[in-house]
Amino acid sequence: MIIVNLDVMMAKRKMSLTELSERVGITMANMSILKTGKARAVRFTTLNAICQALDCQPGDILEYRAE
The domains found in the chain, sorted by start residue, are 2-64 (1.10.260.40)
Alpha carbon distance 48, 52 (integer Å)? 6
Q: How many C-beta neighbours within 10 Å does residue 4 have?
A: 18
pTM summary value? 0.90
pLDDT tens digits for 24-63? 999 999 999 999 989 999 999 999 999 999 999 999 999 9
Direct distance between the N- and C-terminal alpha carbons of the chain, in angstroms, rounded to an integer: 6
